[in-house]
Amino acid sequence: MVFRPFLFYILLCCTFAQAQENIVNAVEVRGVSRSHPAFVKKLLRVSPGMPLDSTLMARDVTRLIRLPSVSHAAFKVMSSPGEGYTVIYEITENFTLIPFANLFSSSNDAFAFRVGLQEFNLLGRNITLGAFYQYDVFNSYGIGVRAPYLFSNRFGLALTHNNFTTQEPVFFDSSTADYRYNNRGVELMGLYELDFRNRIELGGSIFTENYNYLSGATSPTVPQQLSVDKHLFKLIYRYEDITYFYQYLQGFRSALNFQYVGSSDHNLPEFLIGFNDFVYYRRMGDKGNWASRLRLGLASNIKTPFAPFTVDNNVNIRGVGNTIDRGTGTLVLNTEYRHTLVEGNWLVVQGNVFIDAGSWRNPGGDFNDFTDEGNLRIYPGVGFRLMHKRIFNAIFRVDYGHGITKDASRGLVFGIGQYF
């Protein structure tokens, strides 16, 4: 009996000593030249004085790989002189000053393109600054800055200014007219990271929309000229649980976008719009990746020729053409298999086969419109990707889609980055 307090003391001392040995003494970041080490450390969950935790270190690595400035990351643990450990994060950086170009056309539409330049790691703090020029019958431009960690390791801002001008088809009474459409405005968004997987964006914009009739059908109920001041409030909620390994992705993400748009003109009345993208990636063997995206969206069901959801090459259905229809509801599934054909130290060549399918609710229609043969579009196709493993988002994309439903078209779609 008299030995029990002594044995308890010995056990307590051994436990304390073991705990002391498993303490993080130092955290090092290696491999960074363009990023500030202090900024990178600010994003890490592991810090000196904490117990070793492999789960936290793995999450830190995933968070680093999600940064535009990071191509790959890993961690290792080394014994420190004396007691404790040093945690080392080894980072392979991306080149982040990236020109980009999107080219798009179809068998029925005029050639259009967008070119621009973006820096994804301004000041070494993962601030994105970019500008673009677009030609799509008319000239357009935009400039924006996005600083997700401006105020802390969770809170930042994004500011953009756009001046879009395009030729847009307007659909009414089974007829079509072409309008010159201009949208000029400024948007400010607050960015907040709730936790490792969840982020929200909240803000709004003020802008002016102009419609000017060019050619085609006319109607007494459809104005030939409009200039409307608008305001918009936006909420975006993102969930992401994806593992990245260069061009291969595994996991799930969801992005909800909800907006209220106010208007000063009854011809373009106020409305609500919301849509959610559900995206799933799965590794298939050593060289394959299956990717799928489901978009569900609804807007206020106003009977207007200027409905918010569009059917478009660059948004949802590859090969369909540039803005060939509009609706107040959308249901789209994109699914494709990507296979690595060639992989070197920096270059990757991928081939892909895909099916894009979708349907829309007509302005003022009902949910039966989603099953209407005239609204259903199915476009299988093939494509390829050229990728640079050390330059962020350096993926040159070419897809060819061929419709198999009623009144289908076909066409090539060019772009930078994966389609989704």
CATH number at residue 84: 3.10.20.310
pLDDT of residue 104: 65
**CA 26, 30, 33, 34 torsion-angle sign:** negative
Q: Which of 400, 395, 390 is nearest to 317 (CA)?
A: 400
Q: Are residues 102 and 27 in the same domain?
A: no
Alpha-carbon gap, residue 343 to 340, rounded angstroms:
7
Report whether pLDDT(14) > 50.
Answer: no
| pLDDT tens, position by position, 145-180 | 999 999 999 999 999 999 999 888 888 877 888 999
For residue 67 the two structure tokens come to 């940064």
Alpha-carbon gap, residue 252 to 149, rounded angstroms:
24
pLDDT of residue 405: 94
- How many CB atoms sit inside 10 A of residue 341's CB? 11
Per DSSP, the three-state class of 224 is coil
Q: Are residues 83 and 140 in the same domain?
A: no
Q: Are strands 127-136 and 410-416 parallel, antiparallel or unpaired?
A: unpaired
User: For residue 7, what are the β-bridge partners?
Assistant: none
Q: Are residues 85 and 106 in the same domain?
A: no
Q: Are residues 84 and 103 in the same domain?
A: no
Q: Summarize the confidence of residues 298-314 as an average pLDDT.
A: 89
Per DSSP, the three-state class of 41 is helix
Contact 241, 251 (CB under 8 A): yes
Cα angle value 393/398/399 (rounded, 5°): 120
How many structural domains is the chain composed of? Answer: 2
DSSP 14: H
Cβ partners under 8 Å of residue 13, min gap 6 = none
pLDDT of residue 13: 47
**CA 234, 239, 245, 249 torsion-angle sign:** negative
Q: Are residues 45 and 107 in the same domain?
A: no
The domain of 19 spans: 4-92
One-letter amino acid identity for 280? Y
Q: Summarize the confidence of residues 67-83 as an average pLDDT.
A: 89
Stronger pLDDT, 2 or 211, i.e. the higher one: 211
Q: Are residues 79 and 106 in the same domain?
A: no
| pLDDT tens, position by position, 255-278 | 999 999 999 888 788 999 999 999
Query: Given 70, 92, 114, which residue is the final one in a domain?
Result: 92
Q: Summarize the confidence of residues 37-47 as an average pLDDT.
A: 94
Which of 125-129, 212-216, 239-243, 311-315 bottoms out in mean pLDDT, i.e. has the lowest? 311-315
**Residue reference for tokens 């304390």:** 16
Average of per-residue pLDDT values in the chain: 90
- How many CB atoms sit inside 10 A of residue 295's CB? 20
Whole-angstrom CA distances from 358 to 2, 255, 266, 294, 309 are 80, 19, 30, 10, 12
Q: Summarize the confidence of residues 129-138 as an average pLDDT.
A: 92
| pLDDT tens, position by position, 313-339 | 888 999 998 778 889 999 999 999 999
Query: Given 27, 60, 92, which residue is the final one in a domain?
Result: 92
For residue 106 the two structure tokens come to 């179809």
pLDDT band at 378 (very low <50, low <70, confident <90, very high): very high
Distance, C-alpha 282 to centroid of its chain? 18
Report whether pLDDT(101) > 50.
Answer: yes
Alpha-carbon gap, residue 340 to 411, rounded angstroms:
24
Q: Are residues 203 and 285 in the same domain?
A: yes
